[in-house]
Chain A
């Protein structure tokens, strides 16, 4: 009998399933707290200081079955780890699934700053794209299009204004360092493989005028 079918068989007993809920707090929570301490490289002393609890109480919190942590205690622990705490009513199947899938070796919950870092990077990129290339990190890939009417002469002269579009541009360290609001920089226009003919790129560069000479994707490498 596998673990899933075994636990559901046991949950048919009302006494057992009510005890199962309690065991998630009494026994499951200590494994979670220990996993969080380990993943963050923190000690019981650190947690005691952050929660304002005495270390013996922390020791009790991480010993399976030793204490029955209440919600306020768990809220303080969550605050110390700067992570969320979900207290909600769920079907037994969901609770059993969580218990089954919990892995004490790999369980980790990022703190808020760690959690938000990728989101903020994305937002910074999106914001910059709207304004033209104004910020970013070296190596960032941007989807851009050379602005109509500016690229022909500028490309030939070694400068170009970028905006949202369809061609790819990669920021280099020097372009990041420039950091100007609408980044004008020396570019090398190279056709994207299988997406634009070299001849078309050359023609477009020379054409200028009212028509957008970059109807298809072009790779723009900022130098």
Chain B
């Protein structure tokens, strides 16, 4: 049985949409399988560090990112640690310093603030 050492929680919008589930649904089967395998192992890991995790994004206001590759794309999950859990707020890809969607960091900062202010719900990652 898996031992989850780090909890990952997902941002749920005011409209009730799990944004991480939305991101996951848009992945190809291989991207989904790779994301599953990566996130499963990272949840079993206590001490997140490079190359899997970049703890401080430039101008990220406390945001970090999980990083892995799949289908020749750099995948990112932006989020932050709070109270022993890691909160995933935006899933995206990254190529040559540019995120796709391009406004991913901006959205991530907004979602982060909403979570910190307890304006929105979060749910355990269970995709």
Contact = CB atoms under 8 A, between A and B. Distances in A.
B120 to A, nearest CB: 23
A1 B33 CA distance: 17
Contacts of B29: 13, 15-16, 18-19
A65 B70 contact: yes
Contacts of A6: 126
Contacts of B30: 19, 22-23
B38 interface: yes
A200 interface: no
A16 B51 contact: no
B95 to A, nearest CB: 14
B69 A64 contact: yes
Contact of A105 (B28, B32, B37, B45): B45
Interface residues of B, number: 25
B70 A100 contact: no
A176 interface: no
Interface string A183-210: 0000000000000000000000000000
A67 to B, nearest CB: 9
Interface size class of A (residues with CB under 8 A): 20 to 34
A26 B70 contact: yes
Given A63-B51, A65-B69, A103 B36 contact: no
A104 interface: yes
B41 A23 contact: no
Contacts of B45: 104-105
A223 interface: no
Nearest to A32: B41
Contacts of A4: 1
B38 A27 contact: yes
Interface in A90-134: 99-105
Nearest to A18: B29
A138 B39 CA distance: 49
B87 to A, nearest CB: 20
A83 to B, nearest CB: 20
Interface string A1-37: 1011011001001011011101110111001000000
Given A64-B52, A65-B69, A101 B1 contact: yes
Given A19-B29, A19-B34, A103-B44, 4 more contacts: A23-B36, A64-B37, A99-B40, A105-B46
